[in-house]
Structure 1
Amino acid sequence: MNLFVLISQYLKPQADVDVVTPRHRAWLDDHYRSGTFLVSGRQDPPTGGVIVARAQSREALEALMANDPFVLEGCAAYTITAFTPVKRGAAVHLDDIPLVQ
């Protein structure tokens, strides 16, 4: 399983983003339940958002992200950065990643 940081950039005014936000959050919840998304939130200042995710491949994640209501409505675009974790803290539970105690 690969880990990714996804950073979105809003492409429309905040008022337009706010209209789509409830559908976006419901979509996020589906992917939290599946185990794909680990943590997410709005950037500060609110110019987009950040998601930490895990997926089998970048291609699988790109296909999933194409169905985000923000993307479908033209409200946001994502950059995706893969990374390989080498250690973790106790608050993060990921198999096969060494815990620093």
Structure 2
Amino acid sequence: MISTYLVPLDEVAKVRDEHLAFLEGLFAQGTLVAAGRQDPPVGGMVLLDVAYEAAAREVISRDPYLVRGIAEYEARGWNPTVGALKDYGKS
């Protein structure tokens, strides 16, 4: 999921702790692989371990950034073929 901020960074900062707690919860559940802010900080990227786009959209629908109108998300599928994640989830 690729997010784009809809508000200035000072407004993003007011909700960031809630957003990060949400992501930590996803990581603890095994749904989140990695997440981070884009550089420059115009949004972020959230790599989810889900089988379908609909599942990714359902998971991200609970993100405080989305719930509070701070950011919007675009879904992108990805299958790593080279690098540290190429065998992720294959066992």
TM-score, normalising length from structure 2? Answer: 0.88
Q: Which runs of 4+ in 1 moved over 4 A?
A: none
Q: Determine if the alignment matches structure 1 residue 7 to structure 2 residue 12.
A: no
Residue 30 of structure 1 corresponds to 25
Greater helix percent: which structure?
2
Residue 3 of structure 1 corresponds to none
Q: Distance in 2 between the 1:7 and 1:96 partners?
A: 24
Q: 2:88 aligns with which of 60, 85, 94?
A: 94
Q: 1:40 aligns with which of 31, 35, 42?
A: 35
Q: Which moved more, 1:70-79 or 1:33-42?
A: 33-42
Q: Which segments of 5 or more consecutive residues in structure 1 lack a partner in the other structure?
A: 1-5
Aligned-CA RMSD value: 1.6
1:95 positional shift: 3.4
1:83 positional shift: 2.4
Q: Distance in 2 between the 1:10 and 1:80 partners?
A: 15
Greater strand percent: which structure?
1
